[in-house]
């Protein structure tokens, strides 16, 4: 009886255990099935994406930069097809033999060969080695002709920046080159779009307008194996080219400026006196920006860097010069505005002025006799301007000069290398030099010497605002043609059609007229300092003022010797300056010219203005047609 009970109990225990085990199996199996269902159905997209990420790789290509064009649509910074040569090491049967063949075909140096070997050792076998970024067409053809013997070599055609006018626009556009680490990190857009081989703006408008010009990356999607090797291209997504930027500059005027300053150091600026459009802004000498695209050679770099005429300096914006006699229109205007003189005020010029034991010379040794404002401007009499500067005082002169743009940046928002210059006053000297102002400094400030430092573009702006009747303008070098802002564009066109800005820089408009007439006499009346450069035809007739800026103090002995320009060492020769506007009867354009160490403004700079005005005024109708065409389209 007891044995039977024990048997029943054992059977019950076994049955319970079997049930528990069976139930556990069912639960585990159900869990596995549920998980499999979740993975395969509910989370299918997630794991498919992860799988694709392991299987598919994206490669970004360098973005294509936007074109920069002149006022008439001519491309001055564009893009050009370039031919490159790549090697894919894993496809090469005999690497040493290949290098020998390439060395012979392309005349590669030992240094270049060693660089290729070093790259091969660093990269994965299936990564490309760029042998050359810029093959000539003949080299590209040669490589293609011998491809049967160059296993693993891949000729590639791509896009690169190109400056079709070479050195003509360098100081306006700047150039592009490969960015360094700091440049990548400091610009968010460059950082996002950077890929090896991409180039960014290093100077000028290329640098300032980087975010508009840069474009977006083209994207290649490849299927890769477990080692990351490309197996098959799946997709190609074309990138967007950067924005097109249109400048106010006229290539023909820029070209003539370059020709006139050939083999000279200096600057030419041309500006519309109403709209502020800059037609030309040339700094000489210049250099070819195309040299920097694929890494400039040491020889080329040393030639540029060691050139005594300093081509790396943008003289239009960064060159600081004493304005010499080109400041005299502002000195005279300030004296008139402050009721210090009237047009009939006369001074007797004997060739020198004595003040507290110091002698201040006029450029004409025997003097000009009695001169009024008009004759003093016409003959550029220093004695007259010594006297009115003395009566006026440097502080009041400073106020007028600042109004007309001296001592302030003109295009600082576009060029970070532009310099402010200096027009001094009594407080400036005390704060910066710790000494009080003396009267003799007022006299030399009145003829554009002393502490005064201006840029050629400031002088151009000053002249433009005298020419337009004394109204403030804002110079610009970029045309406002943003299609997303048509209303602003229309308003801008309406303002331009009025042909007169609103902010007055004068107290009495008659004073501006007096200065305009005096500048006219300086160019178009006998004994005027630029009379030889006049144009009699009213269509081209212009008014101007010469300037000669000393670069060193003239000793008594040098004054007595009265050396000719050729007898003076180049570095000791005066700078030659000229400012002008025209046509006189219906003014539209102003210009400034400086020729470093050119001697006198009347001989070296004024004749250039004669050539420039003929071209500028002839092209005025074309410029107006272009503007009217845009008005109709808007």
Among residues 92, 116, 94, the alpha carbon closest in space to that of 106 is found at 116
Which residues lie across from 478 on neighbouring strands? 247
Backbone φ, ψ for residue 195 (5° rounding): -140, 155
- Kind and range of the H or E run holding 581: strand 575-582
- Please state the domain extents for the chain: 59-246, 251-295+316-633
The pLDDT of residue 562: 61
Task: Please say whether the beta carbons of 232 and 146 come within 8 A.
Answer: no
- For residues 204-227, one letter each, b for 16 or more C-beta atoms within 10 angstroms of the residue's C-beta and e for the rest, the string is bbbbbbbebbbbbbbebebeeeee
Higher pLDDT, 477 or 43: 477
Superfamily (CATH) of domain 251-295+316-633: DD-peptidase/beta-lactamase superfamily (3.40.710.10)
- The DSSP H or E segment spanning 220 is strand 219-224
Report pLDDT for 327.
97
Q: Whole-prediction pTM value?
A: 0.83
pLDDT of residue 24: 76
Pairing of strands 68-69, 75-87: antiparallel
Which residue did the predictor score with more confidence, 105 or 258?
Answer: 258
Q: Top-level CATH class of 59-246?
A: alpha beta
The alpha carbon dihedral of 615, 616, 618, 619 has a sign of: positive
Mean pLDDT within 574-588: 95
Calculate ∠ Cα 373-321-554, nearest 5°. Answer: 75
Considering only residues 89 and 364, tell me which one the structure prediction assigns the higher pLDDT.
364
Q: Please report where in the chains the tokens 């310099």 appear, as a residue.
A: 419
What integer best gives the mean pLDDT of the chain?
85
Q: What is the DSSP string of 167-185?
A: GGGHHHH--EE---HHHHH
Closest to 220 measured CA to CA, from 207, 205, 239: 239
Q: Could you check whether 59-246 and 251-295+316-633 share the same CATH topology?
A: no
Which residues are registered as beta bridge partners of 272? 589
132: three-class secondary structure by DSSP: strand
Range of lowest pLDDT (261-270, 555-564, 611-620): 555-564
Q: How far is the C-alpha of 232 from the C-alpha of 229, rounded, in Å?
A: 9
Share of the chain above pLDDT 70, in %: 84
Q: Name the most confidently modeled range: 4-18, 93-107, 335-349, 619-633.
A: 335-349
Cα separation, 547 vs 550, whole angstroms: 10
Distance, CA of 144 to CA of 137 (rounded, Å): 11
C-alpha dihedral over 361, 366, 369, 371, to 10 degrees? -50
User: How far apart, in whole angstroms, are the C-alpha atoms of residue 551 and residue 138?
Assistant: 51
Please state whether beta strands 266-272 and 278-284 pair in parallel, antiparallel, or not at all (unpaired): antiparallel
Question: Does the pLDDT of residue 2 top 70, yes or no?
Answer: no
Of residues 633 and 501, the one with the higher pLDDT is 501
């Amino acid at each position: 009886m007891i044995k039977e009970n024990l048997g029943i109990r054992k059977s019950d225990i076994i049955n319970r255990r079997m049930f528990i085990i069976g139930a556990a199996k069912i639960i585990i199996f159900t869990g596995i099935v549920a998980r499999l269902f979740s993975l395969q159905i509910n989370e299918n997209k997630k794991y498919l994406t992860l799988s694709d990420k392991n299987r598919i790789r994206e490669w970004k290509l360098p973005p294509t930069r936007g074109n920069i064009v002149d006022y008439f649509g001519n491309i001055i910074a564009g893009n050009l097809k370039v031919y490159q040569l790549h090697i894919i090491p894993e496809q090469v049967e005999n690497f040493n033999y290949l290098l020998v063949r390439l060395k012979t075909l392309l005349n590669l140096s030992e240094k270049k060969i060693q660089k290729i070997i070093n790259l091969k050792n660093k990269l994965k076998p299936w990564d490309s080695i760029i042998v050359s970024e810029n093959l000539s067409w003949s080299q590209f053809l040669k490589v293609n002709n011998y491809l049967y013997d160059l296993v693993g070599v891949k000729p590639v055609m791509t896009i690169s920046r190109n400056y079709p006018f070479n050195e003509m626009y360098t100081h306006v556009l700047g150039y592009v080159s490969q960015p360094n680490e700091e440049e990548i990190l400091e610009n968010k857009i460059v950082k996002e779009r950077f890929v090896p081989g991409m180039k960014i703006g290093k100077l000028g408008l290329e640098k300032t307008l980087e975010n508009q010009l840069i474009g977006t990356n083209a994207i290649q999607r490849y299927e890769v194996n477990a080692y990351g090797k490309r197996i098959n291209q799946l997709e190609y997504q074309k990138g967007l080219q950067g924005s097109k930027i249109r400048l106010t500059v006229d290539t023909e005027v820029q070209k003539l400026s370059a020709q006139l300053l050939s083999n000279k150091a200096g600057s030419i600026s041309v500006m519309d006196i109403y709209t502020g459009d800059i037609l030309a802004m040339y700094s000489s000498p210049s250099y070819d920006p195309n040299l920097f695209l694929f890494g400039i050679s040491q020889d080329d770099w040393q030639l540029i860097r060691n050139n005594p005429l300093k081509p790396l300096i943008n003289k239009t914006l960064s060159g600081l010069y004493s304005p010499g006699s080109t400041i005299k229109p502002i000195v005279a205007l300030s004296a008139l505005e402050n009721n210090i003189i009237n047009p009939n005020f006369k001074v007797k010029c004997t060739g020198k002025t004595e003040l507290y034991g110091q002698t201040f010379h006029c450029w004409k040794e025997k003097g000009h006799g009695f001169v009024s404002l008009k004759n003093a401007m016409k003959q550029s009499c220093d004695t007259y301007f010594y006297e009115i500067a003395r009566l006026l005082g440097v502080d009041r002169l400073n106020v007028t000069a600042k109004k007309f743009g001296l001592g302030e940046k003109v295009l600082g928002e576009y060029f970070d290398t532009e310099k402010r210059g200096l027009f001094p006053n009594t407080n400036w000297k005390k704060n910066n030099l710790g000494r009080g102002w003396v009267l003799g400094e007022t006299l030399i400030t009145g003829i554009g010497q002393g502490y005064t430092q201006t840029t050629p573009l400031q002088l151009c702006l000053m002249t433009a605002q005298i020419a337009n009747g004394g109204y403030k303008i804002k110079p610009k070098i970029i045309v406002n043609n943003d299609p997303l802002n048509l209303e602003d564009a229309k308003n801008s066109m309406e303002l331009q059609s009025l042909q007169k800005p609103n902010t007055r820089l004068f107290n009495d408009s008659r004073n501006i007229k007096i200065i305009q007439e005096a500048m006219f006499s300086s160019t178009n009346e006998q004994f005027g300092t630029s009379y030889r450069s006049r144009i009699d035809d009213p269509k081209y007739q212009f008014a101007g003022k010469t300037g000669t800026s000393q670069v060193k103090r003239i000793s008594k002995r040098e004054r007595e010797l009265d050396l000719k320009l050729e007898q003076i060492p180049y570095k000791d020769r005066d700078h030659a300056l000229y400012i002008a506007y025209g046509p006189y009867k219906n003014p539209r354009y102003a210009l400034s010219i400086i020729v470093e160490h050119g001697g006198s403004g009347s001989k070296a700079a004024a004749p250039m203005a004669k050539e420039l005005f003929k071209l500028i005024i002839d092209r005025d109708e074309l410029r107006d047609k272009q503007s009217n065409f845009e008005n109709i389209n808007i």
